A and B are shown apart, each in its own frame.
Chain A
């Protein structure tokens, strides 16, 4: 299976977009080689600006640019884009509802060796809590490219969560991304796995293992965490004995919380969450980290078998 990091796909998509649309302006905070906005800079240096190691200012500059009619892409690591600059994002971009696309890379623990100080596991919770903020996490390169094209067409703030490590291409070439609509990747009537980002590939592997044990599993890729496709989740929850959410994020405030908010209100059903426990990560390879912190297909299988 082909493999590519979603940040790589972001860089390629942005490099195409910046040439096509003269109102696209890209900001980065001294991480353009890592976030891959350097690809856009290579083809259009006149609309790519490095603001230096100053993420709070970057978000303000983004807001000012957007207020003059530009579509602004602002990138840094998820930790700094949402954590360091939280209040700038909240007040200068969220409250104003300006057209800024915060495309943050290196989200989650699979950032790897840099360790816990750089591993953002709270960003979905932070961005989801801002009124009017669209929150998206693509699962592979094919989806990422379409996400970037789609958010450039809508007005208003978006948070796009991207990863450092290469992930499987789970979608086919003819896949069509639809903002706000979950994508059903596998049908099964016993259990529903609701996954986002790099956990989609783990959920698909888990579904294969469970099927071999006679448990039929549906796998839904929730790329748009906010607004959540409540109808789709409800439809599948109604025909499932168990709903398990899978995400590379803290158990607090992420996809699991979003799904629980919907189900508890509309159709209470047994739920389990595969996510990072109430703990910080550490240095290590992405694979060693997802094993230690319980984010593998094996962990999903184990959670299903324990919860069913």
Chain B
């Protein structure tokens, strides 16, 4: 287990790389990448068993970024794990790159599912968890879902199936940052209360602060003890977390910063 301090250092490097990637590409999604940074870092470094040695195994712990537009986050974390060379990060969203705008599993080892079309990732995570049940394999499946994404009907089809098939090896984290492209989720199309909805769909629900490592780790540990049902960790987060002028501003959902803005952001993210 890495200490919270070590994780915080990794998260800072991840956020800095995301700023660099999106600025250089002049396109990408910072807000929703920053809201889920602690979630992804804690999963990859302290929760999931994913190493260079088992990276190419068909069966191992898996991660599905259902909110695939946070691709810069996934690539930056895979880079921290040593699965992607850092210099490649600046090819993000450019022609001939393996680092597509939304992740492609066939281009990058360590991307466990191609995602991007919202709602589809959670269904694929259900399929993975089901496979481990069928073949009696003791692996776990993690998926990060957006709160805006939960407006998609397919999320609820997947939620119904995960509970129906009693997939206690599936742990999803809902990145509840409260904002989507067009604004506040409660204004665009209110999906709340998400905790009550997932409970009603038969999930074990844990509510945490999505930027607090202690709460996240405790929730992952609790999820491992739950039998007969999947776990949904509802993680209250801040969109754009880590850079003062990006926080809680839906403008930063999918806009690249200017050179000056990037410089200011990187300064805030210095160690």
**Cβ–Cβ contact B134 & A96, under 8 A:** no
Q: Which residue of A51, A54, A67 is within 8 Å of B112 (Cβ)?
A: A67
**Cβ–Cβ contact B161 & A65, under 8 A:** no
**Cβ–Cβ contact B123 & A25, under 8 A:** no
Q: How many residues of B contact A (CB 8 A)?
A: 36
Q: Which residue of A65, A88, A96 is within 8 Å of B154 (Cβ)?
A: A88
Of B78-86, B113-121, B201-209, B244-252, the segment with at least 4 beta carbons within 8 Å of chain A is B113-121
Contacts of B114 in A (CB 8 A): 91-92, 95-96
Residues of B107-162 at the interface with A, using a CB-CB cut-off of 8 Å, are 112-114, 116-117, 119-132, 134-135, 153-154, 157-158, 160-161
Residues of A49-77 at the interface with B, using a CB-CB cut-off of 8 Å, are 49, 51-52, 54, 56-57, 59-70
Q: Tell me whether chain A's interface is mostly helix, strand or loop, or mixed.
A: helix
CB distance from A139 to the nearest CB of B (A): 32
Contacts of B97 in A (CB 8 A): none
Contacts of B128 in A (CB 8 A): 64-65, 67-68
Q: Does B105 contact A (CB under 8 A)?
A: yes
Q: Does B165 contact A (CB under 8 A)?
A: yes
Residues of A116-140 at the interface with B, using a CB-CB cut-off of 8 Å, are none
Q: Assuming the A-B contacts A64-B113, A91-B120, are A46 and B134 also in contact, with contact meaning beta carbons closer than 8 angstroms in the complex? A: yes
**Cβ–Cβ contact A67 & B113, under 8 A:** yes
B 79-109 binary contact with A (CB < 8 Å = 1; else 0): 0000000000000000000000000111000
A46 to B217: give the CA distance in the assembly, Å: 34
**Cβ–Cβ contact A96 & B113, under 8 A:** yes
Q: Assuming the A-B contacts A25-B131, A65-B128, are A96 and B105 also in contact, with contact meaning beta carbons closer than 8 angstroms in the complex? A: yes
**Cβ–Cβ contact B160 & A64, under 8 A:** no
Contacts of B123 in A (CB 8 A): 56-57, 59-61, 63-64, 88, 92
**Cβ–Cβ contact A63 & B104, under 8 A:** no
Q: Which residue of A lies closest to B125 (CB)?
A: A64
Q: Does B58 contact A (CB under 8 A)?
A: yes
Residues of B147-198 at the interface with A, using a CB-CB cut-off of 8 Å, are 153-154, 157-158, 160-161, 164-165
Most A C-beta atoms less than 10 A away, residue of B104, B125, B128? B128
- The 3 A-B residue pairs whose C-beta atoms are closest, nearest first, are A64-B127, A60-B123, A57-B157
* Sample of 5 further A-B pairs with CB below 8 A, known A59-B123, A61-B123, A88-B120: A61-B127, A61-B161, A64-B130, A65-B130, A68-B59
User: Could you pull out 18 A-B pairs where Cβ atoms are within 8 angstroms?
Assistant: A49-B165, A51-B161, A52-B161, A57-B154, A57-B157, A57-B161, A60-B122, A60-B158, A61-B130, A61-B161, A63-B113, A64-B126, A64-B131, A68-B59, A91-B116, A91-B120, A95-B104, A96-B113
